[in-house]
C-alpha cells in the first residue's frame, strides 16, 4: 500500500524539502494549510512540487480541524513542522507562540491517539531548548535544557508531550532536535537569509546597508534539504527516539557576513553593516554546536553541505532571484 504523510507547516522552509523527498519515495503527501485570502505557495513552487500536494485546511490552534484531518487522512506518518518559528517574535507574541508551538502539538497528539493510533509522529524540536547550557561547549542528547525565549519554552513543552504520548500510550513519537538549518527558501527575517538577500541587493546596487543585531553569536548551520532526510529516517526505525541533527561546527554571524560578501567580491563588509539595537534580543543564546553522533550511528545520517557551500548557495540564489 502507498504510504501517506501529513505535513504541517508545508508552506514554510522545511515542509517543501520534506514533501519533495517523500514524493520521490512515492508517498501521497497531504499538506496542512491555514485559511488565507491569498496563500503563498512560493517555496513549493521553487522546488517545483506545488501541484503534487493534497492540501487540507486547518490550523494548529483549532483542535477540531486537526481531529477532522487526522480522521480523514489516517496518515502513515505525521511530520509536525508548523510553528511560530521565529525566536525574535516570540517575546512580542508569546501567547500565540504557546498556542501554536505547545497546545497545537497536544491537539494533534490527542487526535492521533483517538483516531489513528498506528500513525507515526515526528515533532520538530529545536536546539533552542538547550539555551546556553552545554556539555564542554557542545550539545548532545544528554545536555540539560535551559530555554531562554518563549519560543524555546513552548517547544520544550511539545518535546516532553511527544515523549509522554510515547510512554503513556505506546504511540510512535519521535523528536528531532534540529540545529539551525537554512536554504534559499529560508524566511527572510532569519539572519542567514537576511544577509544573503542583503548582500545580493548591495552587489546589484539596490541597497547599501544591512541592519543587524548581535553579530557575535554562533550557530551550527546546516542545509535544510539534507536535514529533512533525518526526519524521515527517524520514522523508519523500529523504535521511536530523540535525535540531534547538526553539523558539529559552529560559526559566528561575522563569519557568515565575511563569506557572503567575499563571494560577491566585496572585502570591506563592515562598511555595509549597521548594528541596530532593535534587532538585539532580551535574552541571547551565545553558542550552539551539536553533536549528531547518535543520528550518524543509528540513522546512518550525515551532514552533507559544508558551511561555506551553504552561504554561497544562498547568496547565489538571491542574486538570481533579484536579477
Ligand atoms: P517556517 O517558519 O519556515 O515554517 C513554519 C510553518 O508553520 C509555516 O508554513 C506556517 O504557515 C506554519 N504555521 C504557523 N502557525 C500555524 C498555525 N497556527 N497553523 C498551521 N500552520 C501554522 O519554519 P521552518 O520550516 O524553518 O521550520 C520547521 C519547523 O522546525 C518549525 O517547527 C521550527 O520551529 C522547527 N525548527 C526549525 C529550525 C530551523 O533552523 N529552520 C531549527 C529547529 C527547529 P504559514 O505559511 O501559513 O505562515
Ligand atoms: P535562531 O537561532 O532561531 O534565533 O535564528 P536567527 O537566524 O533568527 O538568529 C540567529 C542569531 O543571529 C541570533 O543570535 C540572533 O540574535 C542573531 N542576529 C543578529 N542580527 C540579527 C537580525 O537582524 N535578525 C535575526 N533574525 N537574527 C539576528
Domains of the chain: 4-181+222-245 (3.40.50.720), 187-219+249-288+306-322 (3.90.25.10)
Averaged pLDDT, 126-150: 90
Rounded to whole angstroms, the Cα distance separating 89 from 189 reads: 10
pLDDT digit string, tens, across residues 289-304: 999 999 999 999 999 9
Give yes or no for residue 36 having a pLDDT over 90: no
Handedness of CA 263, 268, 272, 277 (dihedral sign): positive
Residue 279 near ligand 2, beta carbon < 6 Å: yes
38 pLDDT band, cuts 50/70/90, is confident
For the stretch 164-211, pLDDT in tens is 999 999 999 999 999 999 999 999 999 999 999 999 999 999 999 999
Residue 60 confidence (pLDDT): 98
88 lines ligand 2 (CB under 6 A): yes
Does residue 128 have an active-site annotation?
Answer: yes
Distance CA 66, CA 41 (A): 21
Instruction: Tell me the CB-side half-sphere exposure of residue 199, using CA atoms within 13 A.
Output: 30
- Identified catalytic residue from 17, 79, 122, 128: 128
Task: Reply yes or no on whether 79 is catalytic.
Answer: no
Is the CB of 219 inside a 6 Å radius of any atom of ligand 2? yes
Q: Are 13 and 47 in contact (CB under 8 A)?
A: no
Give me 140's grid cell: 548532545
Mean pLDDT within 246-274:
97
Task: State residue 194's pLDDT score.
Answer: 98
Q: How far apart are CA 66 and CA 38, in angstroms?
A: 22
- Mean pLDDT (the chain) is 97
210 CA distance to ligand 1 middle (Å): 25
Pocket of ligand 1 (CB under 6 A): 8-9, 11-15, 32, 34, 59-61, 81-85, 100, 124, 126, 178, 180-181, 187
Ligand nearest to the CA of 98: 1
Nearest ligand (C-alpha, residue 216)? 2
**Active-site residue 189, yes or no?**
no
pLDDT above 70 coverage of the chain, percent: 99
The residue among 105, 98, 235 whose CA lies nearest residue 165 is: 105
Rounded to the nearest whole angstrom, what is the distance from the C-alpha of residue 140 to the centroid of ligand 1? 23
Give me the pLDDT at residue 315, please.
98
Supply the pLDDT for residue 133.
76
Give pLDDT, residue 136: 61
Ligand 2 near 143 CB (within 6 A): no
Nearest atom, ligand 1, residue 187 CA: 3
Atom of ligand 2 nearest to the CA of 215: 19
Q: Which of 126, 143, 162, 192 is labelled catalytic?
A: 126
Total residues belonging to the chain? 323
- Work out the number of other CB atoms within 10 angstroms of the CB of residue 201: 17
Q: Cell numbers at residue 87, please?
A: 525566536
Which numbered atom of ligand 1 lies nearest the CA of 125?
A: 44
Residue 139 in this model has a pLDDT that exceeds 90: yes
pLDDT of 39 higher than 90: no
Instruction: Pick the residue whose CA is nearest to atom 28 on ligand 2.
Output: 191
Place of cell 541571547: 284
Which residue's CA is the closest to the ligand 1 atom numbered 3? 12
Supply the pLDDT for residue 229: 98
Q: Determine the average pLDDT of the residues in 61-86.
A: 98
User: For the CA atoms of 265, 267, 268, 272, what is the dihedral angle to 10 degrees?
Assistant: 40
Nearest Cα residue to atom 23 of ligand 2: 212
Res 135 pLDDT > 70? no
- Whether the full predicted model's pTM is greater than 0.85, yes or no, is yes
Best probe residue, ligand 2, of 188, 190, 221 (max atoms within 8 Å of C-beta): 190
Amino acid at each position: 500500500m502507498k504510504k501517506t504523510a501529513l505535513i504541517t507547516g508545508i508552506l514554510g522552509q522545511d515542509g517543501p524539502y520534506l514533501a519533495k523527498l517523500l514524493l520521490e519515495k512515492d508517498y501521497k503527501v497531504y499538506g496542512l494549510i491555514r485559511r488565507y485570502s491569498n496563500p503563498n505557495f512560493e517555496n513549493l513552487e521553487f522546488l517545483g512540487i506545488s501541484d503534487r500536494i493534497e492540501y487540507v485546511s486547518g490550523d494548529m490552534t483549532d483542535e477540531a480541524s486537526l481531529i477532522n484531518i487526522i480522521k480523514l487522512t489516517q496518515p502513515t506518518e505525521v511530520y509536525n513542522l508548523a510553528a511560530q518559528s521565529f525566536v525574535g517574535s516570540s517575546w512580542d507574541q508569546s501567547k500565540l507562540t504557546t498556542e501554536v508551538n505547545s497546545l497545537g502539538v497536544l491537539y494533534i497528539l490527542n487526535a492521533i491517539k483517538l483516531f489513528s493510533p498506528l500513525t507515526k509522529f515526528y515533532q520538530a524540536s529545536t536546539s533552542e531548548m538547550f539555551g546556553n547550557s552545554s556539555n564542554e561547549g557542545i550539545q548532545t542528547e544528554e545536555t540539560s535544557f535551559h530555554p531562554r525565549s518563549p519560543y524555546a519554552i513552548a517547544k520544550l513543552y511539545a518535546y516532553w508531550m511527544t515523549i509522554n504520548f510515547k510512554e503513556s500510550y505506546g504511540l510512535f513519537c519521535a523528536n528531532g532536535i534540529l540545529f539551525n538549518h537554512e536554504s534559499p527558501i529560508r524566511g527572510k527575517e532569519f539572519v542567514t537569509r537576511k544577509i544573503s538577500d542583503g548582500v545580493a541587493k548591495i552587489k546589484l546596487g539596490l541597497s547599501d546597508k544591512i541592519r543587524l543585531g548581535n553579530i557575535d553569536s554562533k550557530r551550527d548551520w546546516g542545509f535544510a534539504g539534507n536535514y529533512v532526510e533525518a526526519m524521515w529516517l527517524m520514522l523508519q526505525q523500529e523504535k521511536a527516539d530523540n535525535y540531534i541533527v547538526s553539523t558539529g561546527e559552529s560559526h559566528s554571524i561575522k563569519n557568515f557576513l565575511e563569506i557572503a560578501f567575499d563571494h560577491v567580491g566585496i572585502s570591506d563588509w563592515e562598511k555595509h553593516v549597521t548594528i541596530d539595537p532593535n534587532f538585539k534580543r532580551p535574552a541571547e543564546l551565545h553558542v550552539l554546536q551539536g553533536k549528531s553522533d547518535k543520528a550518524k550511528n543509528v540513522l546512518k545520517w550525515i551532514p552533507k553541505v559544508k558551511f561555506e557551500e551553504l552561504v554561497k548557495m544562498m547568496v547565489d540564489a538571491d542574486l538570481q532571484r533579484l536579477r
